[in-house]
Chains A and B, each alone.
Chain A
Amino acid sequence: MEILASTFFDFGINVQLVVGGLALGAIYAVVALGFVLVEKSTAVLNLAVGEFLMLGSYFGVAFFMERQTNFFVGTIVITAVMALFGLVIHYGIMRPMVGQGFFAIVLATIGIATVIRAVVQMRFGPLEKGNLTALPTGTIEVAGTNIRWVDIIVLLVVAASVAGFLAFYSLTRTGLHMRAVASNIEAAAGVGIDPDRAYALTWAMAIGIAGLGGVMLGHFTPSVNPALAAIGLRAFPAAAIGGFTSVGGSIIGGLIVGVIEQLAGGHLGTKWREPVAFGILFLVLIFKPTGLFGQKDLERV
């Protein structure tokens, strides 16, 4: 590994890397958001998050590549279908498993991930598809550097949908119910909120958001392939930086991880991307387990 001073301090290259990192980080943020939402309200560690993302990308292949659907119609349909899938997971698997150990439920999500991977390969084959092209390609020149249109649009779409979600979560009555159930299920049930409904809604929204992220990812990566699921792991450093209990923090964490990873990849070489991202995770957990915005849990013996 050698750091070249000429590229390390080059403004144009750094701007390019940061913008690419922000777009990548927006996708991480979406993944982390779905992950934290489920983890916070249902205490389920969803390891299938990457597979849901991949499923979203492959739905994108089915809609945009094979049927030439309009981008907005397709995205909405995909998000809705994925949300339905979230409902199926809640009522079919997670509700019967309430009360079982932490690791058993984690393993159940791994089982779901395995099934998704198998079904996707049955339907689409093991070969990689080209990336999605429903969005305008090409670059725009800003301040002397070329920035891809895709990066900008991905950032905007993600920002709009995350803002919409946060508004729903913090302003509406249903969002209030979801937050109440997440913070204390017994107390919420005591004042007449149906926790089952809130859980189902949480799953639906989390998986729906992952599907949306998958469509964006399909435009962002060079090719859509089953290995895309590995990106789900990036939800962990993002969520750790934000603190696991903070929905808003996970978005900022995702952006930070994306930028740092892109900078490390650009300056040190691509093989450093994963170690840097997970090294951050390790250090954050060791020195500040609550992250930037998390709350400290008090425990009674």
Chain B
Amino acid sequence: MQSGVFHTTYGKDMALQQSSWQKWRLGLVLAALLIFPFVADNSQLYLANTIAIAAIGAIGLNILVGFTGQISLGQGAFLGVGAYASALFTGRLFELFGGTGGTPFLVSILLAALFTALVGTLFGLPSLRLKGLYLAIATLAAQQIIIWIITHTPKLTGGESFSLRPTLLFGLNMNQNGDFRFYWLLIPIAILVTLAATNLFRTRVGRSFVAVRDRDIAAEVMGINLFRTKLLAFAVSSFFVGLAGALLAHYRLVISPDRFEIGTSISFLAMIIIGGMGSIAGSIYGAAFITLLPALIESLGRQVSNIYPNIDTMLPYIQQGAFGLVIILFLIFEPEGLAKVWHNIKNYFNLWPFSY
């Protein structure tokens, strides 16, 4: 019986997967992900795809809020920037100038992510002077400004709703049987983003983010350039958020500003609070939780609707109540979120029967 995880070489200490059990688990998860689309129906695939997109966005937000300590209420709008930018790059921008065609899909989502990084950096500028609640309000302003621009430039953004052309990837129409095909695109991208973000915090840049979060003055004394670091955090975070937005646009094919309102920002904040601030895995758990919660309550409601026929009329309120209740319970009992809960469960079994 082991009493902990010990390493005898630096190589082992630096490894992403520190024990053979973790490697097994990773293998199991990957196998499950590979089998899933063949056993699931379209609505389950839709949920999986939505979770993958939300997870990419939540990882982006967590880099900024959880790891760098800069509160942002502009998440929804940055998703919108990514979505509209990619929609423009794949077609409309060219039509506006009388051309045809457009940028290939993969190039376009990357360009959109980069563009969002640029916009994010711009709106991150106030973070040099502002902290905490004041920064929150500044990012709220970013949210409103961006949505205003999207709704009031109908030539560019199509006004009320914007239809994209079907997404072509190497000549394959991704939107035909879209839930199945996009799964094979979204899951690998989500895995890549997870890997990139996990590794980010093993580098100097990533550690400087954490240093800024823990105490910015101390970080500056240690030689970290606050100006650069904060802006970089905004850029990196917005890059991932923009990527999520772009993928969302191509997956759903019709985008409208009401998808990117303040409510979206709040639900992404809820994801990282419930999942775990400052945890990459937590972002994924949170994204899954917030996406599945309403679906779970609905199916529970249907189960009991035979016993309580009036549950239908109460269900919407139960749903909204549950959302608030879950956040409050997590804030009180487990502020470190689902990531910590998972950690505790693992420890419980690891240390059994000698836990204290």
Judge: A and B partners, yes or no: no
